[in-house]
Amino acid sequence: MKVLIVYYSLYGHIARMAEAVAEGAREVGGAEVLVRRVPETLPAEVIAKMGAAEAQNELSKVPVCTMDELGSADAVIFGTPTRFGNMCGQMRQFLDATGGLWMKGALVGKAGSVFTSSGAQHGGQESTILTFHVSLLHHGMVVVGLPYSFKEQGRMDEITGGSPYGATTIAGGDGARMPSENELAGARFQGKHVATIAAKLAR
Ligand SMILES: Cc1cc2nc3c(=O)[nH]c(=O)nc-3n(C[C@H](O)[C@H](O)[C@H](O)COP(=O)(O)O)c2cc1C
């Protein structure tokens, strides 16, 4: 049972969340977990101006997801930073290259799930995940979120990401805030939850 985690991350917040999602998925017996990134589309000079050159040196070591890997996965968990309340362009571009898989119905009946990150607490995390779900539904995927059985998404004693739509983290306006323990716990929960459902669907 293959669980694919495929993401884009400019500064590393989504990459850190992806590691936690993978940890959670690996807890499920029989799960083979693959972590991949989508191709970069921004020119190097723009990345440098965005202050992300150093982070990208590290993040670009993660292998780029192939269409074969996407098509052969039993479950796919997508990670994207919020861009104007939507998924990032790199992820959109990646999805727009999946027409061949769509024609074959390669993802029909497979679990699909999304996690995200935003600068501001109310900067569009929910709209990013919910609008992403539209693409998953066009592929015929079974949309999976982060159920309220992960109770800590409702914590009021600290600022935290996490919603029934999926795990999230808040990076802060300057990107200085890395995912908190609670947000990482939500990501692990989502990974385990999706892998558990994928195992049931694959049976
Ligand atoms: C072009 C652009 C648009 C963005 N739009 C939003 C937004 O709508 N709401 C928000 O809270 N943060 C926004 N951000 C901040 C990013 O979401 C934040 O940098 C990202 O979540 C950090 O994740 P990463 O380190 O994995 O890239 C935007 C950033 C950029 C560069």
Which residue, by CA, sits nearest to atom 15 of ligand 1?
119
**CA dihedral for 11, 128, 122, 150, sign (positive or negative):** negative
85 Cα nearest atom in ligand 1? 8
Q: What is the pLDDT of residue 9?
A: 98
How confident is the model over 159-173, as pLDDT tens digits? 999 999 999 999 999
pTM over cut 0.95: yes
Q: What is the pLDDT of residue 203?
A: 82
Nearest to 17 by CA among 93, 115, 103: 115
pLDDT digit string (tens) for the chain, length 203 residues: 999 999 999 999 999 999 999 999 999 999 999 999 999 999 999 999 999 999 999 999 999 999 999 999 999 999 999 999 999 999 999 999 999 999 999 999 999 999 999 999 999 999 999 999 999 999 999 999 999 999 999 999 999 999 999 999 999 999 999 999 999 999 999 999 999 999 999 88
7 Cα nearest atom in ligand 1? 26
CA–CA dist 88, 82 (Å, integer): 6
| The length of the chain, given as a count of residues | 203
Distance of CA 13 from the midpoint of ligand 1 (Å): 10
Chain centroid offset of residue 141 CA? 15
Distance of CA 77 from the midpoint of ligand 1 (Å): 19
Which residue, by CA, sits nearest to atom 2 of ligand 1?
83
Q: What is the pLDDT of residue 159?
A: 97
Which residue, by CA, sits nearest to atom 4 of ligand 1?
83
Distance of CA 86 from the midpoint of ligand 1 (Å): 10
Q: What is the pLDDT of residue 84?
A: 98
How confident is the model over 72-106, as pLDDT tens digits? 999 999 999 999 999 999 999 999 999 999 999 99
